[in-house]
Homo-oligomer: A and B are copies of this chain.
C-alpha cells in the first residue's frame, strides 16, 4: 500500500521525515512511500542517508507552508506545496491509502477539509489521538483534540458517534464507553455547552454514554472515548505535556543537586525512565488522525523526528487494515444524524 509523507512543515523537516520514510519501507512489508517535496533535495538526501531501494517515490513539490501563513489562503494559493500536492494525490489516487504531515496544524486541517473532503453526513472532522493509560494494553481516544475550537452540542454528539466507530474498528471493542469531559462527574456539572451536549449524548442510542468525566481521569483507562471540543481537548493534552516537562526538569534538577549515591541510583533507573517515557509520551507514539475524512490523514506532532514518522506510518497501516473508512461511512449513514 502507498502512503504519502509530507517532507516539509515540521521542526526537523525534511531530514527526519526522510529518515522516517526509509525506516518505514525497510521495516514494514507491502509499504511504499511517496515523499512530496523538492525533487533534487529529497533525492540527494535519500542518497546521503544511504537509501538505494525502489520503494520510495518522490513527487516534486518545491514549496512549503509555514505556521505563520493563513491556513485557508495557503491551501488555496500554494498549489506547488508539499502539503497541497500530497493532499491532491491522496484524494485522486485509489492506490494511495494515507498521508502523514507534521506541518502547520491549521493548514493540514484546512487541506483535509477542502481538498480530501468529508465523509457524507460528517459535520466536522475531528483530531482524535489515542492517549496512554495506566494499563499497558489499553488506550483511550480523545476526540476532538484541536480541530474545532468552537463546537455546537450536535458536533460533540457526532464526535461521540465517530469516536465509537473508530475505536470499535481499531480496537475491536463493542459498545465502547463514551464519556463527556467536564469539570465534575455529576450531571449538573459543566458549562452551558456541556449541559446541552450531555442531554444529547444521553439520548443517542448509537453510543454507550457513561456520563461526565474529569480531566484527572484522562489516563485512568476507565473510558474508551472521551468527547470534548477542540479547544478543551487541546488544553487538556497540552497541560499533560507541560506537566511531563516540568516533572522531567525538576527530576533532573533534584538529581543533579543530590549526592553521588542518588546519582548512581538515577543511572540505574535509566532504562526504567526510558520505558516510562515511551509508555507515557503520546507525542512519541504517533500522530492524531483527522477522523471523518474520506481518506486517512494523520497530523504528526510539529517536533516529530524519524521515530514518530515511522510510528505514524505504522498507525496509518493499522487504520487502513481496520477498514475504518468504510465502517465510518456505514455508521454515519445509519446514525440518525446523517442527512440532517
Residues of A within 8 A of B (CB): 67-68, 132-134, 136, 146, 149-150, 181, 183, 186, 190-192, 194, 214-220, 228-232, 234-247, 249-251, 253-255, 258, 261-262, 264-269, 271-272, 275-276, 279-280
Q: Which residues of the other chain, B, contact A214 by a CB distance below 8 angstroms?
A: 234, 238
Q: Which residues of the other chain, B, contact A250 by a CB distance below 8 angstroms?
A: 134, 276, 279-280
B240 touching A254, Cβ below 8 Å: no
Decide yes or no: A276 and B254 within 8 Å by CB, A239-B215, A249-B134 being known contacts.
yes
B272 touching A262, Cβ below 8 Å: yes
A243 touching B239, Cβ below 8 Å: yes
User: A10 CB to closest chain B CB, in angstroms?
Assistant: 16
Enumerate 12 A-B pairs (CB-CB under 8 Å) in ascending A order: A134-B249, A183-B230, A183-B238, A215-B242, A220-B245, A235-B236, A239-B243, A240-B240, A250-B276, A258-B272, A266-B272, A269-B269
Q: Which residues of the other chain, B, contact A241 by a CB distance below 8 angstroms?
A: 215-216
Question: Copy number in this complex?
Answer: 2
B265 touching A264, Cβ below 8 Å: yes
A240 touching B243, Cβ below 8 Å: yes
Bound CA span A262–B264, Å? 10
A279 — nearest CB in chain B belongs to which residue? B250
A243 touching B262, Cβ below 8 Å: no
A251 touching B239, Cβ below 8 Å: no
User: A143 CB to closest chain B CB, in angstroms?
Assistant: 15
Bound CA span A244–B254, Å? 17
A221 — nearest CB in chain B belongs to which residue? B246
Q: Given known contacts A215-B234, A243-B244, A269-B269, what 8 new A-B pairs fall within 8 Å (CB)?
A: A150-B192, A215-B237, A216-B242, A216-B245, A219-B246, A240-B242, A255-B269, A264-B265
B244 touching A247, Cβ below 8 Å: yes
Bound CA span A132–B249, Å? 12
A190 — nearest CB in chain B belongs to which residue? B149
B269 touching A183, Cβ below 8 Å: no
Q: Which residues of the other chain, B, contact A239 by a CB distance below 8 angstroms?
A: 215-216, 218, 235-237, 239-240, 243
User: A113 CB to closest chain B CB, in angstroms?
Assistant: 17
Q: Which residues of the other chain, B, contact A249 by a CB distance below 8 angstroms?
A: 134
Q: Which residues of the other chain, B, contact A219 by a CB distance below 8 angstroms?
A: 242-243, 245-246
Bound CA span A271–B272, Å? 18
Bound CA span A280–B253, Å? 13
Closest 8 CB pairs of A and B: A265-B268, A215-B238, A265-B265, A219-B246, A149-B191, A239-B239, A243-B243, A183-B234
Decide yes or no: A235 and B269 within 8 Å by CB, A216-B245, A245-B219, A247-B247 being known contacts.
no
Q: B150, B238, B240, B245: which contacts A191 (Cβ < 8 A)?
A: B150
Bound CA span A146–B267, Å? 41
A183 — nearest CB in chain B belongs to which residue? B234
User: A127 CB to closest chain B CB, in angstroms?
Assistant: 11
Bound CA span A239–B238, Å? 9
User: A187 CB to closest chain B CB, in angstroms?
Assistant: 11
B261 touching A231, Cβ below 8 Å: no
Q: Which residues of the other chain, B, contact A261 by a CB distance below 8 angstroms?
A: 268
Bound CA span A103–B258, Å? 39
